[in-house]
Structure 1
């Protein structure tokens, strides 16, 4: 049995306002070909299929077209879990229809942990057991009590995650013992999850959003019971193992979500199981769009752009000036440097003048240049809120954002 582990597609994501549909189409086409060439039997998608909980029609179309093509291939099963960017009700809405295509969806946890246990069958025999645990929302795993400290909250979140995995895996192990005795063959249990493991690596501007206010609940390897032969994780965009355990892995995102990931080799993980044992192979994903970050003085950056243009590059650029002063016509110089080429400038900023973005006529920074936390910080400054009052307001704002992110706007 061959299993492919992927996650964090973020279909519909943009880069400084630039739509990225061609990259997503390229990746999904490559995935379809890889599934056929590698003769993949089981596809695991560990959350964050979409970038928002209200994906646009184009993103939905790509998702469903891909699932239909995989269902028509030799791949026997697809398992999808919800991530923190996904709407549980949106993922679950076509659940019964997709099940007819052997696409198993767990958008969120329910009242019965057994609903997260998926038995993958081949010729009436169970060949694998999947513990498909989706992103666990704060309200799913702990009771809020007045007066609790940040340490209390963290301890409850971690305990809630551990307890949930323990419940699901205990049921899965009981099923395995019964099935192995009945079938006379070893059966692997594969865990899935969308969470932040302790010690996990991230990259600047990779779009990895805090799962819980205060960046809490980084779980250790002890959250995953020993009965799990492999754990397919999502949420972190850098491919990595967890806690030195080779069987607990993040596949990472398939395309660079920001310039911090631009030089990173993206992968999917292919596992070939023989009973409970497996061999693992990393498959490199082609780069479907070149992202380049240029940093330095104006003359240096202009020279680097000329080199890119001469090489017929189609790179999207993020430019960061390190000089104290920049001439007022720098935007015009940059536009002239890329004129007639496929190179695009997606963002310009100045490290020394952080509160301004360089434009030809010196305009102030725009909303496209800021994330939602930076917008709030600018509001505090604009309204002359005293510095000593800001940390509390920022913390309250973060809690509001967390509530909005966890609220399933598609549910009704």
Structure 2
């Protein structure tokens, strides 16, 4: 029996206002082909199906079209749980209809742990897998608020609540297995942050609970679990160095911080001839559907890299972080000129030096709220030791820009 573990699709996610529908469609096309090639029996999706709780029509269309196609494939079952980005009610709404396609959706807990235990059967009606489909556990689901609680009290109660919930659900699964056959594997799913998990700056991972509370110790999960399929962290990784406790990671880079990350899905295979044997795990790398690249450095470094990408006929989306000493007032125009005639596209430009210098100057002389717009500009010039000749030109450009903005405000009143 083959099982494919994926998570954190974030359908509908944009990147600096750039829509990514084509990437999502390309991923799902690849995923369908992989399911057919690998003869996958069960697909597990461990949360964050959509990027927001109110996904747009196009995002929904992509999602339901994929489910329609996968239901017609060799895959017998799809199990989906809600993540912290998902609306439990929205995800669960078509649940009864999706069941007819053997798509099982668990958006929230019901109060009865047995409702999160799914018995999956093969084409002959024999039970082949038990899945503990635990959705993202929200604070209100697992913790009773009491007056005067400390931060430590809240964290402890959250962890205890999550531990107890998994114990109850897995115990219900254990009872089902005892009544059916001791050789049936038990898989658990979840969407949470296990302590020690690796993240990347800019990967979009939000804290699930209050502040940085409730990073869950790996030891809370019951030992009866034959494979733990987790979502939330975007970096593919083992949990506590265990081969059978894993984050599959996000299939697409959510931000430029993930641009160089190898994305994958987890293929889990149980040998049904050996009762409850440890599964074989294999990672299948996901192709890059839209290249992303973050370019950092001075102007020479940036121009050189852009030139190399142009020579490669790259179609990458770029994030430019300028860190040079030279003040370049027309940085955006220079960059656009540098990519002209290529298939490159710049989605974001950040001038780190000007920002840091301006902030340092502001910190020395008062808060931003205490300074006028012109005073901020003047301090920016002073902080960067701009020559008097260049200052004259920059002040002229600044005043023209300010006048233009004021004129726009007047016209819209």
TM-score of the superposed pair, with normalisation by structure 2: 0.84
Of 226, 229, 242, the residue aligned with 2:226 is: 229
Q: 1:329 to 1:153 in 2, by over 3 A?
A: same
| Structure 1 residue 308 corresponds to structure 2 residue 309 | yes
User: Cα RMSD between the aligned structures?
Assistant: 1.4
- The answer to whether 1:248 aligns with 2:245 is yes
Helix, strand or coil for the counterpart of 1:70? helix
CA contact (8 A) 1:324 1:353 kept: no
Contact 1:83 1:135 in 2 (8 A): yes
| SS at 2:190 equivalent | strand
Contact 1:193 1:233 in 2 (8 A): yes
Query: Which position in structure 2 is the counterpart of 1:371?
Result: none
**2:350 corresponds to which residue?**
349
TM-score normalised by L of structure 1: 0.84
Q: Which residue of 2 aligns with 1:192?
A: 189
Task: Point out which structure has higher relative CO (alpha carbons under 8 A, 6+ apart).
Answer: 1
Give 2:159's aligned residue. 158
Cα deviation, residue 326, structure 1: 2.5
Q: Indicate the SS of the match to 2:61.
A: helix
**1:319 paired residue number:** 320
Matched, 1:266 2:263: yes
Structure 1 residues 383, 158: closer, same or farther in 2, change over 3 A? farther
Determine the C-alpha separation between the residues in 1 that align with 2:148 and 2:313.
61
Q: State whether residues 47 and 191 of structure 2, in contact with CA within 8 Å, keep that contact through their aligned partners in structure 1.
A: yes
Alpha-carbon distance in 2 for matches of 1:30, 1:337: 34
Residue 382 of structure 1 deviates from its aligned partner by 5.5
Shift of 1:254: 0.2
In 2, distance between residues paired with 1:197 and 1:30? 29
How many correspondences in the alignment?
357
Cα displacement string for residues 181-219 of structure 1 (whole angstroms, at most 9, x for unaligned residues) = xxxx61000000000001000001000011012111111
Instruction: Indicate conservation of the 8 Å contact 2:314/2:343, yes or no.
Output: yes
Measured in 1, the distance between the counterparts of 2:357 and 2:349 equals: 10
Determine whether 1:136 maps to 2:133.
no
| Larger Rg belongs to | 2
CA distance in 1 between counterparts of 2:332 and 2:94 reads 48
How big is the shift at 1:354? 2.9
Alpha-carbon separation, structure 2, partners of 1:253 and 1:199: 18
Structure 1 unmatched ranges of 5 or more: 358-380, 385-412
Give the Cα–Cα distance (whole angstroms) in 2 for the partners of residues 8 and 324 of structure 1: 39
Q: Which runs of 5+ in 2 are unaligned?
A: 359-366, 371-413
CA deviations 1:240-286 (Å, max 9, x no partner) are: 11112221100000011111111111000111112422111110100
Contact 1:298 1:326 in 2 (8 A): no
8 Å contact kept, 2:81–2:105: yes
1:325 offset after TM fit, Å? Answer: 4.2
Structure 2 equivalent of residue 53 of structure 1: 53
Question: Partner of 1:12 in structure 2?
Answer: 12
Taking the aligned partners of 2:125 and 2:20, their CA distance within structure 1 comes to 42
